Amino acid sequence: MKQYTTPVIIGLVILLLTGCAGMKPTVFVHPEYNFGYVERVAIIPFENLSSDQGAAHRVTRLFMSELLATEAFDVVEPGEVTRSMNNNSVLYPADITQDQIIAMGKELGVQAFIIGTLNESTSIRSGGTATSVVTLVVRMVETDSGQTVWSSTHTEGGRGFWSSLFGTGGKSTSEVTRNCVKRAIKTLVD
């Protein structure tokens, strides 16, 4: 019986470590699109499907900040995007049409739009600790044809192995959100 104990324990530890590592993002990259063409982008305000009021606004601003930090693209100021959305009668960012994307692209002088949805932003309490979970769906739509050329779905959060083992708290919602945004952007500019 002793000869099986060590492999079983090692197997359980590996299972726990990999099980707590989180989900890998789902990523789509258009195989024929030349991303070198994209120099300037605009970020459409993210849609909020979570129960956290104002979370999508915070994620949109955070996404902009983190994207600028990569120095991969010039990013249009949010006020200009809002003005263009008003000029083109875009009431709900999730309902933006292909024609509106093309018209706004010309108006703003951008090669692509970043359009996102905050699916989840929650803090789950278990005992005396809280666990934050964030799910973000974001895509890049090029402005010549209105076609999606990149998309990423990423979930971040949950308690890690060590915090579960020792009963310590997880990361704050802000930390989890920032990590989620950074990892989503990494699938675009890496």
CATH label of the domain that carries residue 70: 3.40.50.10610
Is 130 domain-assigned? yes
Is 169 domain-assigned? yes
**pTM across the whole model:** 0.80
Is 177 domain-assigned? yes
Average pLDDT, the chain: 84
Q: Which of 4-8, 111-115, 175-179 has the highest mean pLDDT?
A: 111-115
Number of domains the chain contains: 1
Is 37 domain-assigned? yes
Tens digits of residue pLDDT in 102-111: 999 999 999 9
- Average pLDDT (151-171) is 67
Structure tokens at 130: 């809280």
Tens digits of residue pLDDT in 48-76: 998 888 889 999 999 999 999 999 999 99
Percent of the chain beyond pLDDT 90?
A: 61
Range(s) of the domain holding residue 123: 23-189
Is 80 domain-assigned? yes
